[in-house]
Amino acid sequence: MHFTSERRLDDGVLEREFTLGEIPGTLWTPESAVPAPLILKAHNNGLPKGEPRLVARARHTAASGYAVATIDAAGCGDRPRSTADEQARADLRRAMQAGEPVDEIFESFIGPLVEKAVPDWRTTLDALLELPEIGGPVGYSGWTAVGIRLAVVEPRIAAAGFFAGGYVPRAQREEARQVTIPLLFLLQWDDEGNPRQRALDLFDAFGTKEKTLHANMGGHVGTPWFEMKDGDRFFGRHLK
Q: Determine which of 6-10, 45-49, 195-199 has the lowest per-residue pLDDT on average.
A: 45-49
pLDDT classification of 220: cutoffs 50, 70, 90: confident
Kindly state the percentage of the chain with pLDDT values over 70. Answer: 99
pLDDT classification of 82: cutoffs 50, 70, 90: confident
Distance CA 208, CA 72 (A): 29
121 in Cβ contact with 139 (< 8 Å): no
More confident residue, 113 or 44: 113
Distance CA 49, CA 25 (A): 7
H/E run at residue 23? strand 23-29
pLDDT classification of 45: cutoffs 50, 70, 90: low
How many CA atoms within 13 Å lie on the side-chain side of 96? 11
Q: Is the pLDDT of residue 210 over 90?
A: yes
133 in Cβ contact with 87 (< 8 Å): no
Q: Is the pLDDT of residue 194 over 90?
A: no
> For the chain, what is the mean pLDDT?
90
More confident residue, 219 or 210: 210
Kindly state the percentage of the chain with pLDDT values over 90. Answer: 59
pLDDT of residue 225: 86
pLDDT of residue 59: 93
117 in Cβ contact with 150 (< 8 Å): no
